[in-house]
Amino acid sequence: MKKQITAAVILAIVFFGMIGIAYGLKHISHEYTYSDYPLKYEKEISAAAKKYGVDKALIYGIIKTESNFDPDAVSGAGALGLMQFMPSTFEWLQTYYREDNNYVFEDLRDPALCIDYGVQLLSILSDMYEVEDTMLCAYNGGLGNVDEWLKNPEYSDDGKHLKVVPFPETDNYRKLVAQNKSIYKKLYFS
């Protein structure tokens, strides 16, 4: 009888200990996820999202993917800022809507400016491509490339959706942005 009580007590301790560990791991995992997916630049992102009609979770997903929220990030190819602009894209955007602005490329280190231009670009691409996945390919791989891919039956059946993305970097990029967007949606916007 004494052995049965001792065994029952040990089992209870193990059982409740496992519940405590599981709860603790869930709590740690929950905190870790939020810290990996912060809501930095919330004011700037909210303003640009409203101004250009772009989903905030998408903006966060792109910034997470492009620069991990480092406003001074510079890619190996020379892209700059939170949303990683190439000089030619930045110059094109300045003339697209804003003929009077005289920003220089280094000004993209300013989070508010970079986010505004980045979200403006997303809005333009969204109007051009309709399909978010295709738009993400254009953001990363360039409009000219995506336009050619959409015309090619090897890559697109309907001229809107890409069934194959021939640039591995762009293919991985669109998947990572979609994943990051989904995580932001689950954590903050659902």
What are 74's strand-pairing partners? 80
Q: Taking 70 as the threshold, does the pLDDT of residue 56 lie above it?
A: yes
DSSP state of 101: -
Proportion of the chain above pLDDT 70, given as a percent: 82
pLDDT of residue 129: 97
pLDDT of residue 115: 98
**Lowest model confidence (mean pLDDT) among 16-20, 46-50, 72-76, 114-118:** 16-20
Contact 54, 182 (CB under 8 A): no
More confident position, 32 or 59: 59
Query: What token pair was written down for 25?
Result: 């791991």
Q: 25-34: which pairs have CB atoms within 8 A and are 24 or more residues apart?
A: 33/183, 33/187, 34/187
Query: Is 42 among the residues known to form the active site?
Result: no
Mean pLDDT to the nearest integer, 40-62: 98
Rounded CA separation 22/149 (Å): 48
Collapsing DSSP states into helix, strand and coil, what is residue 172? helix
Mean pLDDT to the nearest integer, 71-88: 96
- Per-position DSSP letters for 9-56, written without gaps between them: HHHHHHHHHHHHHHHHHHHHHHHHHHHHS--TTHHHHHHHHHHHT--H
| Chain mean pLDDT for the chain | 88
pLDDT band of residue 16 (cuts 50, 70, 90) is: very low
pLDDT of residue 102: 82
Smallest Cα–Cα separation from 144: which of 183, 88, 83, 184? Answer: 88
Contact 119, 52 (CB under 8 A): yes
pLDDT band of residue 31 (cuts 50, 70, 90) is: low
Mean pLDDT to the nearest integer, 2-26: 49
pLDDT band of residue 28 (cuts 50, 70, 90) is: very low
Query: What token pair was written down for 39?
Result: 């809501």
Rounded CA separation 126/139 (Å): 10
Q: Taking 60 as the threshold, does the pLDDT of residue 147 lie above it?
A: yes
Q: Using the Cα atoms of residue 85, residue 91, residue 96 and residue 97 in order, give the sign of their dihedral.
A: positive
Select which of 66, 91, 106, 148 is catalytic: 66
Q: Taking 50 as the threshold, does the pLDDT of residue 17 lie above it?
A: no
